[in-house]
């Protein structure tokens, strides 16, 4: 796919496509002249933009506004279902990428839309189906599946080290000493550039990495140990605090 994305607008306000990818596949960095709802009917993806990364497990989708450069990486084998939307068809859509919930109804509408002619005929049941699909793309409260990226070179380097070793439990003061800064300065810079405290950012990193590992069929105990939690129960507690359910139930429900 080219960096400029699709070469033309869909022939209708909405178009739905299905693609299957193997684990590890990437789309390459690109952009579209229309909005895009990226949904995995099965599997887990990572979507990257200049503002950070989003993990997209089943039951979720990432909204990517028009003209935003992004890349999609498949963290497992993925059944990708994409809804392209001409901007005028969703005038209230966010101007920044965000994770949205895919309700059972929206999921079925997307799957049914794939069975309809492309482009779908106007003035009948097919057009009404696609309009109902749009009506069910709901942008509610932000879901905790985004890891914002810092901008300063020294914070980018620190974030990269933490991503390589998410089990590292060193304190902010210890990291500040390594970077030649004070803990107070580092904490202030981290919050200013990511919107999160250092501790909250690291907890978010571990949560998203946990989703990646669980999607690859790693056991809950393996994931807890790999990410530096004191025990399996501590990991389950942290997972439930962020996502409202246990890891096993989270994936079973989706």
Asked whether residue 7 carries a pLDDT value surpassing 80, the answer given is no
Alpha-carbon torsion (174, 179, 185, 186), positive or negative: negative
Confidence of residue 4 (pLDDT cuts 50, 70, 90): very low
CB of 206 closer than 8 Å to CB of 166: yes
Asked whether residue 6 carries a pLDDT value surpassing 50, the answer given is no
CB of 137 closer than 8 Å to CB of 100: yes
Asked whether residue 143 carries a pLDDT value surpassing 70, the answer given is no
Q: What is the mean pLDDT of residues 240-250?
A: 83
Instruction: Estimate to the nearest angstrom the gap between the alpha carbon of 91 and the chain centroid.
Output: 22
Find the distance separating the first CA and the last CA of the chain, reported in whole Å. Answer: 29
Asked whether residue 5 carries a pLDDT value surpassing 50, the answer given is no
Q: Burial of 12 by CB count in 10 Å (0-12 exposed, 13-18 middle, 19+ buried)?
A: middle
Give dist(CA 225, CA 62) in Å, integer: 29
Instruction: Estimate to the nearest angstrom the gap between the alpha carbon of 246 and the chain centroid.
Output: 19
**Strand-strand pairing, 146-148 and 52-56:** antiparallel
What is residue 3's predicted lDDT score, i.e. its pLDDT? 42
Q: What is the mean pLDDT of residues 108-118?
A: 93
What is residue 236's predicted lDDT score, i.e. its pLDDT? 93
Average model confidence (pLDDT) across the chain: 87
For 212-227, what is each residue's pLDDT tens digit? Answer: 888 788 899 999 999 9
For 56-71, what is each residue's pLDDT tens digit? Answer: 887 789 999 999 999 9
Asked whether residue 118 carries a pLDDT value surpassing 70, the answer given is yes
Q: Burial of 207 by CB count in 10 Å (0-12 exposed, 13-18 middle, 19+ buried)?
A: buried
Longest distance between any two alpha carbons in the chain, whole Å: 66
% of the chain surpassing 90 pLDDT: 50
Where does 93-197 have alpha helices with state H?
104-113, 125-135, 153-164, 172-179, 183-194
What is the pTM (predicted TM-score) of this model?
0.76
Instruction: Collapse the DSSP code of 168 into the 3-class scheme (helix H, G, I; strand E, B; otherwise coil) and give the result.
Output: coil
What is residue 254's predicted lDDT score, i.e. its pLDDT? 56
């Amino acid at each position: 796919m080219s960096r400029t994305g699709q070469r033309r607008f869909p022939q209708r306000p909405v178009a739905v496509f299905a693609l299957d990818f193997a684990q590890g596949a990437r789309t390459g960095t690109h952009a579209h002249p229309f909005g895009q709802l990226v949904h995995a009917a099965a599997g887990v993806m990572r979507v990257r933009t200049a503002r950070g990364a989003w993990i997209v497990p089943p039951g979720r989708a990432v909204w990517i506004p028009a003209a935003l450069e992004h890349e999609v990486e498949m963290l497992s084998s993925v059944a990708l279902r994409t809804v392209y939307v001409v901007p005028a068809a969703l005038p209230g859509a966010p101007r920044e990428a965000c994770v949205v919930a895919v309700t059972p109804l929206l999921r079925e509408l997307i799957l049914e839309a794939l069975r309809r002619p492309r482009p779908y005929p106007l003035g009948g049941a097919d057009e009404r189906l696609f309009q109902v699909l749009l009506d069910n793309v709901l942008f509610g409260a932000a879901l905790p599946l985004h890891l914002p990226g810092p901008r300063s070179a020294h914070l980018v380097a620190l974030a990269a080290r933490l991503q390589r070793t998410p089990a590292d439990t060193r304190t902010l003061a210890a990291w500040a000493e390594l970077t030649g800064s004070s803990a107070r300065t580092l904490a202030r810079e981290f919050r200013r550039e990511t919107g999160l405290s250092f501790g909250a950012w690291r907890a978010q990193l571990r949560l998203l990495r946990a989703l990646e590992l669980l999607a690859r069929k790693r056991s809950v105990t393996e994931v807890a140990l790999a990410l530096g939690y004191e025990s399996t129960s501590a990991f389950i507690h942290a997972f439930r605090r962020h996502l409202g359910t246990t890891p096993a139930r989270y994936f079973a429900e989706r």
